[in-house]
Structure 1
Amino acid sequence: MTFDTETRPGAPGEADATAFRVAPIHETTTARLADAGLEARLVPVDGDDFPGWLQSTARGFLDGERSEEQIASARERSAFRRTTGIYDPSAPVPDAPVATIASWVGQLTVPGGAAVPSCAISAVTVAPTHRRRGLARVMLEGELRSAVDADLPMAMLTVSESTLYGRYGFAPAAASASWRIETKRATWIGPRPDGRVDFIPRERLRELIAPLHDRARRRFAGEIDVPAGHWDGMAGTHPTAEKAGEKRAIQYADASGEVRGLALYSVKENHDDFTKASVRVTYLLAETDDAYAALWRFLLELDLVAEVNADEQSVDEPLRWMIADQRAATVTLRDHQYVRILDVPRALEARRFGASGTLALDVADPLGHAAGRYLLEVDAEGRGTVTPWESPSAPEGAVAVSLGIEELSAAYLGGVSLATLAAAGRVQSADPSTAARVLAWHTAPRLSIWY
């Protein structure tokens, strides 16, 4: 099974995504579980086992029991996912899985704007009754084997517990920033584009957001293609959406009338002082710099608002340089988009690089998927070619770099410098600065959603 990694619009081939979704569970997974008296089953979204799978997943994330209406909505929004459950036949409710995982073929934007087909992983839960039995390890390692069998060069996920996934080769590759802005102190000094900002119905935003996001996501490494159901949840346009009526939708249209940006936000009144309401930006999507500036100016200049909050922002937002008082913004950073390289040559050749040079990479991988010695040669245009490195020492002119797959995955999107990882004792090289310049990228990676 092969996938195109060239820069192109649209999703991976439907046949490829379908083949991954219905592929049998890896035999290693079933054997390991059988030894423990457990079994793994694919759970078709349209099948009888799905409600139990969904209830177990919700419980794993400390959510409440799902209603019939919510189950029906989840079926509709989850058809693209490969859903798997681990079952304990000796449990009082044997049809309720004691561990869950979901995955699908998504597209990860990489430096240079290409989209690399990747195994997106979600809904990883283990019931408290079955902790410390290695079920998460069995599921994660099994899903990675399935991704390798499907010829996917990358895997990716967002996480609830950040300490769990390094053992499988995942690394935080794109951090996110949460902003809290005091509007009275901020004072807008940024551009004032010629277009206009207008309120629109949430249903109209839902119509516009998918194609706009598909155009805009190529601007930033770390962004992914977004399944349609996610937008319904965000816009509050499906029947089970909570507090949908609190969300307000706006659009930015440029001088020609073309919609280039969208935003969703909600307002919380301050009943002690009605001039000090707070705004929560649910999502802001900008295809152009003008759209970005116009939407943020609108939000920061809202009447009767003292504070604007926004999550899942870049660690290097232009907004910082569009307000007069940068101390008006309190910014908190956290790990967000995790990636895991499965095929080093294909992953590296798909992206572009910050400088020309030659790196001799000696990569360790405890799971064995990506271990090897690779020669990365980057030309003046930032394109890389990867070939095996078989000589006892690094070729003349190459910078030797020894690192684990976790460290290579962390640096892959340009979110952390190899020099920083070397200073932290995570990478070994006689010339980490040169290696860092090659792997660098000029914009910080980002991911504007959870999945």
Structure 2
Amino acid sequence: MTTIDSSRTADETDRAAFRAGPVDEQSRARLAVNGLDYRRVATDGDDYAGWLQSVARGFQDGERTDEQVAASRERSGYRRLTGVYDAAGPVADAPVATIASWLSELTVPGGAAVPSCAISAVTVAPTHRRRGVARAMLEGELRAAHAAGVPVAMLTVSESPLYGRYGFASAAAGASWEIETRRAAWIGPRAEGRLDFVPRERVRELLPVLHERVRHRRAGEITVPGGHWDGFAGTNPTAEKATDRRAVQYSDARGEVRGAAVYTVRERHNDFTKGTVTVHYLVAETDDAYAGLWRFLLELDLVAEVHASELSVDEPLLWMIADQRAAKVTVRDHQYVRILDVVAALESRRFGAAGRLVLDVSDPLELTGGRYLLEVDDSGAGRVRVLGDGETVSAVTLALGITELSATYLGGVALETLAAAGRVTVDEPSSGAAVSVDRFDAVATATRVLSWHTAPRLSIWY
């Protein structure tokens, strides 16, 4: 398998090599002992339909039609697909477990985009639970990504307790909003631009362009596969209720499109003045576009509530409405991150303050554990060096798992919080340090270094 240089953007050659790479031999052998066949699935092959049906079943969806299989096949060529098969079962061509992954990019503090392995479609049939299948698949995919030189893996999850054992951590929370429009009352800026309805096909063209312009501004965002834009815009011909979606664009005074939103309206039949708007996607390149689009949605006629999800935990919208209690905001875990290469991952991001830290990292999969010296200069750039056996450094020392280090990676989880929760041990510098530092100050120092000034955000599920 081709090794990816983490200092550059992964290209199509890298992505193709990753898709074509073999399954992990250690996981293959482990599953074979139980009579299970662990193999890759080609998007254009005969196995794809059975693989997709197993994914649908795993997420409690209905059986896919031939048309839906064809549409999914057309949009899935970017993914590396793997299945676990039980030849003794009555339907041998349908996998009992599935996983998908692909090379993407993750925006990190400071605006850099790091090559990352996005993982999705993780399912295990209830008939094959507690046989180590999920463990073999996830560990296998992480080892494959690590072997390819990918510094970070990431996923969004349906069941949050499952992934910590593999080193993943919730690194970016997502906020869901329910807004009572009559109570909210807009007090934000009055945007000077123009709002217009546009067809779904037009907004499908706009969304990836706008997202590409803004994704480097906020840690946690990723490159979005094309099929996701079809889902948001309602241009996937096999999607349910796609024609219910409406789209608007915001143009500035020069006529440049700076934002767009896709939403649906659900009527309340016993009172037509109390409809509900669901915002499927909103992207804004400028503050004016942000204000203009949100004001439009909150002031729609015959609407009592506006619902939106995958928002940031520090949305400016909260300060654009007169009654903040009109918004019910629910925060939960969303983007999970797993560092696979400590040096490459940390040197790719910027940090909140200058300082020196020793990171004593444990890794349950033994992919990237060890002792590292992180030195951050006044610009926020960090250099990382692997420490030799027995080498001592006078610096604040953190003893933590790869899960905890991954939690801090996007700047959304404070080191101080993890230390208070007993997840990180923080020791002050040795007595040989020039300045004496107690544990409280050591925790504060580590927190400042690993922090970032804005909360991370991921605006999609994948």
Q: Structure 2 length normalisation: TM-score?
A: 0.95
Alignment pair present for 1:100 and 2:113: no
Alignment pair present for 1:424 and 2:424: no
2:167 to 162, 169, 175: 169
- State the 1:33 CA deviation: 1.1
- 3-state DSSP of counterpart to 1:370: coil
Alignment pair present for 1:262 and 2:260: yes
Residue 414 of structure 1 corresponds to which residue in structure 2?
Answer: 411
Q: Distance in 1 between matches of 2:63 and 2:421?
A: 44
- 3-state DSSP of counterpart to 1:137: helix
Runs of 4+ in 1 over 3 A off after TM superposition: 1-7, 390-394
Alignment pair present for 1:235 and 2:246: no
Residue 224 of structure 1 corresponds to which residue in structure 2?
Answer: 222
Native 8 Å contact 1:360 1:394 kept in 2: no
- State the 1:4 CA deviation: 5.2
- 3-state DSSP of counterpart to 2:162: coil
Q: Deviations over 1:44-88 (max 9, x none)?
A: 000000000000110000011000000000100100000001001
Q: Structure 1 length normalisation: TM-score?
A: 0.97
Q: Deviations over 1:5-39 (max 9, x none)?
A: 558xxx62100000000101111121111111111
Native 8 Å contact 2:396 2:446 kept in 1: yes
Which amino acid in the other structure matches residue 449 of structure 2?
Answer: V
Q: Distance in 2 between matches of 1:285 and 1:128?
A: 39
- State the 1:286 CA deviation: 1.0
Alignment pair present for 1:440 and 2:438: no
Which amino acid in the other structure matches residue 402 of structure 2?
Answer: I
- 3-state DSSP of counterpart to 1:346: helix
Q: Distance in 1 between matches of 2:29 and 2:37?
A: 9
Q: Distance in 1 between matches of 2:118 and 2:211?
A: 18
Q: Distance in 2 between matches of 1:49 and 1:30?
A: 18
1:344 to 321, 338, 342: 342
Q: Distance in 1 between matches of 2:87 and 2:7?
A: 46
Q: Distance in 1 between matches of 2:54 and 2:105?
A: 28
- 3-state DSSP of counterpart to 2:119: strand
For residues 146-295 of structure 1, the aligned pairs below 5 Å read 146-295=144-293
1:62 to 51, 60, 63: 60
Q: Distance in 2 between matches of 1:4 and 1:167?
A: 27
Tell me: CA distance 1:255–1:2, structure 2 relative to 1, closer, same or farther (3 Å): farther
Which amino acid in the other structure matches residue 368 of structure 1?
Answer: E
Residue 135 of structure 1 corresponds to which residue in structure 2?
Answer: 133
List alignment gaps of at least 5 residues for structure 1: none
Native 8 Å contact 1:182 1:328 kept in 2: yes
- State the 1:272 CA deviation: 2.0
Native 8 Å contact 1:358 1:376 kept in 2: yes
Q: Distance in 2 between matches of 1:111 and 1:192?
A: 31
1:52 to 50, 53, 57: 50
Identity value in percent = 69
Q: Deviations over 1:266-303 (max 9, x none)?
A: 11112222221111111111112221111111111111
- State the 1:366 CA deviation: 1.0
Aligned CA RMSD, in angstroms, stands at 1.2
Tell me: CA distance 1:409–1:395, structure 2 relative to 1, closer, same or farther (3 Å): same
